[in-house]
A and B are shown apart, each in its own frame.
Chain A
């Protein structure tokens, strides 16, 4: 984090915000925000993303810490999965009466 006097928004890192709507659900990405450090990022996330009661838990992650797949790698990454229908569990019949699969 920058220590320059007269710091501006450009000095504040970006954080990704994940909110869990209620117990039992996974955290979902809801957006991003600027904050000077992790503790303030958590508070800002509370104010910006949960002020209408949207959540019971918040994660904040420095955006810089997220490693993302690149659009250039789209084909090698995802194309081979398109034609492998046998990877989908669609080749057997569900026995009648099996309710809790």
Chain B
């Protein structure tokens, strides 16, 4: 049998996945009352709430494994931007609806492959979370796919904006697959995302092709989200997300 996982590395891993879900949930929540249709408002809010549920499980687990007495709220509300471990893709601004859909397609396709692999983790909490979340994410991916097909293969205007959406998010996709090597004791516990890339590419490129869109060229790439390096947009997002908790510590309603 493999060795017991290193607690520090396990906590950091759960925190990274939890932060991805938390920050994207917050971003999607910004659409509430602003979506193009009432029906779409509810759809985006549902996706945000699925992600928030994943974030709560992952952050609570990260806090428990860390063993320093921090709970999910401490981790969500009392860290500064440099302590967040999410990939930069999830923190970029919503842009127009096409940017949001492009971001959701590439991220959900990534999460789908990630959670599918994580279902076989030796860690029961991570495997359990992944087994439940993969069904949610399959729907998120389908929702973004349906919109990509309709807007890409739609009118001249919708196609141009959908293409612009993918052009904007594409540089942030490389970071999703940066290799993770937490050491021998973590093998079979965490998922190295690098080998997930071919399946992700196959799915995303097939959707882009069917939607008559071009696969964007990579002119630059983001890096460093997992090390606490973020865009200027994360600070603004955190200010809005955290201000109530920080102004009124421990407030409930």
| Chain A residues engaging chain B, CB cutoff 8 angstroms | 3, 5-7, 9, 12, 33-37, 39-40, 43-44, 46-48, 51
Is the pair A48, B146 in contact by a Cβ cutoff of 8 Å? no
CB distance from A1 to the nearest CB of B (A): 11
Is the pair A33, B39 in contact by a Cβ cutoff of 8 Å? yes
Can you give 24 A-B contacts (C-beta < 8 A)?
Answer: A5-B155, A5-B156, A5-B157, A6-B157, A7-B155, A9-B37, A12-B37, A34-B37, A34-B38, A34-B39, A37-B150, A40-B150, A43-B43, A43-B142, A43-B143, A43-B146, A44-B39, A44-B40, A44-B43, A47-B42, A47-B43, A48-B39, A48-B42, A51-B42
Q: Complex formed: what's the CA distance from A95 to B213 in Å?
A: 73
- B93 contacts partner chain A, Cβ-Cβ < 8 Å: no
Name the B residues within 8 Å of A9 (CB-CB).
37
B interface, over-half SS: helix
Q: Complex formed: what's the CA distance from A35 to B42 in Å?
A: 13
In the complex, which residue of chain B has the Cβ closest to the Cβ of A44?
A: B39
Q: Interface readout for B14-40 with A: 1 if CB under 8 Å, 0 if not?
A: 000000000000000000000001111
Q: Complex formed: what's the CA distance from A40 to B144 in Å?
A: 11
CB distance from A67 to the nearest CB of B (A): 25
Name the B residues within 8 Å of A3 (CB-CB).
155
Name the A residues within 8 Å of B38 (CB-CB).
34
Q: Interface readout for B115-135 with A: 1 if CB under 8 Å, 0 if not?
A: 000000000000000000000
Is the pair A36, B150 in contact by a Cβ cutoff of 8 Å? yes
Is the pair A51, B46 in contact by a Cβ cutoff of 8 Å? yes
Name the A residues within 8 Å of B46 (CB-CB).
47, 51
CB distance from A35 to the nearest CB of B (A): 7
Name the B residues within 8 Å of A34 (CB-CB).
37-39
Q: Complex formed: what's the CA distance from A47 to B37 in Å?
A: 13
Q: Complex formed: what's the CA distance from A69 to B38 in Å?
A: 30
In the complex, which residue of chain A has the Cβ closest to the Cβ of B39?
A: A44
CB distance from B173 to the nearest CB of A (A): 25
Contacting A at CB under 8 A, from B137-158, are: 139, 142-143, 146, 150, 155-157
Q: Complex formed: what's the CA distance from A6 to B146 in Å?
A: 19
Is the pair A35, B157 in contact by a Cβ cutoff of 8 Å? no
CB distance from A6 to the nearest CB of B (A): 7
